[in-house]
Chain A
Amino acid sequence: MSAEILAPPPSVGDVARGRVRRALRRRTVAAVLALLVAGTFLAYLMVGDTCYPVDDVLRVVVGEQVPGASFTVGRLRLPRAVLAVAAGFSFGLAGATFQTMLRNPLASPDVIGISSGASAAAALAIVTLSLDETQVSVLAVVAALAVALLVYVLAFKDGVVGTRLILIGIGISAMLDSVISYVLSQAAEWDLQEASRWLTGSLNNAAWRETVPVLVALAVLGPVLLSRVRHLSAMQLGDDTAAALGVRTERTRVTVIVAAVGLIAFATAAAGPIAFVAFLSGPIAARLVGPGGPVLMPAGLVGALLVLVADFTGQNAFGTRLPVGVVTGVLGAPYLIHLIVRSNRTGGSL
């Protein structure tokens, strides 16, 4: 109170300037993140067992034939880098959507079993049933939606409480992970690459036929989510408040859940449930843009950056090549522990 008395009272202009300042910070953060994604993308294409100069890489990207580089960069690194960006963006965007809508950082699709559902279905489809990419994606989407519905129904008792939904989701997630292990153990051509892809996420299989469905899904579903940012901001204030502000809450919730689950499923069908990307991106983005504001776009960029950097590191920094999910898992686990410890300390229940 004393500070209010000592400082001159802010004027109407100050209030508007505060808003402009916060909006500017959000835009600056998004621009810097986009630049970082672009820079890392380029570095990712240039560096590897063989390194190529920038102009070779750019010529390959625009479609020219460059001996050597056309194969290594164009056929191996480019689809993999594009998948890293598209899957990372999808995970970040969908994760932040869930966290915003359920008002809980733990309520991300990779914690509450939706990623595991998509992963189990995709593993089954590829390893056991030998389906093609489209069929795999469709099955992953159906399974992820079914898991989302199952978690919602099981958690429903006079409305859905975040904590109950999260605990049920963690349980379902554990069950689905054991389904994945079972599918892998039954497969004839059981190998470590497949196992790491479906358990923690890996880009090792990346080729255009895996990457394209993810890009298409992102191009269709991404705008659906990003156009609902303001609705989600209103729904953060509680359903009644949002409805009083003119938001059709049920319709928005269904649209947003289906779009976010779709993004998770397509990305997972191609790259596996890359550990903790959906979970980490939103909170990192919120830290960068300042609390309380909309984080969907920055969260998508953070997700893309996380996957790119993690895969780049996994490929080049260690003696052996580590799958991307192992690297993101190392980043995500401490944050999960931090969140749980903090909610214990503040007396919150999850």
Chain B
Amino acid sequence: MTTHHTLSAERLGLGYGDRTVIEALDLDIPPGRVTAIVGANACGKSTLLRSMSRLLAPRTGRVVLDGKEVHRMPARQLARTLGLLPQSPVAPEGIVVGDLVGRGRHPHQGMFSRWSAEDDAAVAAALEATATTALADRSVDELSGGQRQRVWIAMALAQHTDILLLDEPTTFLDASHQVEVLDLLTDLNQARGTTVVMVLHDLNLAARYADHILALADGRLHAAGPPAEVLTEETVRTAFGLDSRIIEDPVSGRPLMLPIGRHHVRPLQDASADRPVAAREAGR
């Protein structure tokens, strides 16, 4: 149902003022899949996402969508193919959920064109997909954090783009709401074939939900590929400067990262030490 678009970066260099954030980055976003961008704070994850949605002009190189340079495409045309949910969008005071979601229809409407039946259908479908139909007439101010994030995603869905970029869609959400949002995005990917690209802080959620992981370190692409290949102890050390152990997630079978800090680490770290300790404790 969705036409697959190719999105890639070629020798992309990004920065603000004197500061260079990303240098000579090459990457391809796999079409129709869920991609997670991971990396330490301030490593350029959000900057990369902003540039891919033309919010930030590249210093060198280019971002290419279906063979065309993103920064040379007409704004509205791009907005019909590629949507972005920024990290902290602002809800106008008192706005009703249905109206907020309706603003996602902007790129499909002309300067004076009337609201169409297609717009209504898109808003209704977006509300339905995010299970927010019941909230349609409620004020956004009254909603909980999880509901609000679902409403913002509904706005991005109403935009009806084949590619959806999300900047940390799970921040400020508790564990159950994080999973709820990621499940929702997975549904969307599976039902519509929407290409999802999201910046995620939580490596384990990235490993759980992404088909493809891009690990950034120091403004460069350190590793790219499926979670099982990318999420290694070496990647975690390079990208986050953190020692860790990677085990198989008993729930999903995907990799699970266990950080090793300075405290609460057993002196013996090889796997064989686990069983005797557990047995000793069980025997008490």
Which residues of A are at the interface with B, using a C-beta cutoff of 8 A?
4, 7, 9-12, 14-16, 18-19, 22-23, 103, 227, 230, 233-234, 236-238, 240-241, 243-248, 286, 290-293
Contact = CB atoms under 8 A, between A and B. Distances in A.
Contacts of A238: 86, 88-90
Interface stretch (B23-31, B134-142, B205-213): B134-142
Given A246-B79, A291-B96, 19 more contacts: A9-B133, A11-B133, A12-B128, A15-B124, A19-B120, A22-B99, A230-B111, A233-B103, A237-B90, A237-B91, A237-B100, A243-B54, A246-B76, A290-B94, A290-B96, A292-B95, A292-B100, A292-B139, A293-B99
Contacts of A19: 98-99, 102, 115, 120, 123
A237 B89 contact: yes
Given A240-B86, A244-B84, A16 B120 contact: yes
B74 to A, nearest CB: 8
A291 to B, nearest CB: 2
Given A240-B50, A245-B104, A292-B100, A15 B75 contact: no
Sorted nearest first, the 8 A-B pairs with minimum C-beta distance are A291-B94, A292-B95, A246-B79, A244-B84, A12-B124, A240-B86, A246-B76, A246-B107
- Chain B CB count within 10 A is highest, among A10, A22, A103, A240, for A240
Interface of B: 50, 53-55, 75-80, 83-86, 88-96, 98-100, 102-104, 106-107, 109, 111-112, 115, 120-121, 123-125, 127-128, 133-137, 139-140, 155, 159
B102 to A, nearest CB: 6
Contacts of B124: 12, 15-16
B93 A291 contact: yes
A4 B147 CA distance: 13
10 contacts: A18-B137, A236-B90, A237-B100, A238-B86, A238-B90, A240-B55, A243-B55, A244-B53, A244-B85, A292-B93
B107 A245 contact: yes
Contacts of A243: 53-55, 75
B86 A245 contact: no
A291 B53 contact: no
A18 B115 contact: no
A189 B123 CA distance: 63
B89 A12 contact: no
B89 A241 contact: yes
Contacts of B54: 243
Nearest to A291: B94
A298 to B, nearest CB: 15
Contacts of A290: 94, 96
A292 B98 contact: no
A247 B106 contact: yes
A10 B137 contact: yes
A22 B127 CA distance: 18
Contacts of A14: 136
A233 B91 CA distance: 10
A291 B120 contact: no
Contact of A10 (B85, B90, B106, B136): B136
Contact of B133 (A10, A23, A241): A10
B150 to A, nearest CB: 13
B54 to A, nearest CB: 7
Contacts of B89: 237-238, 240-241
Contacts of B155: 237
B114 to A, nearest CB: 10
Nearest to A9: B134
Given A10-B134, A238-B90, A241-B89, A15 B99 contact: no
B243 to A, nearest CB: 35
Contacts of A245: 79, 103-104, 106-107, 159
Nearest to B46: A240
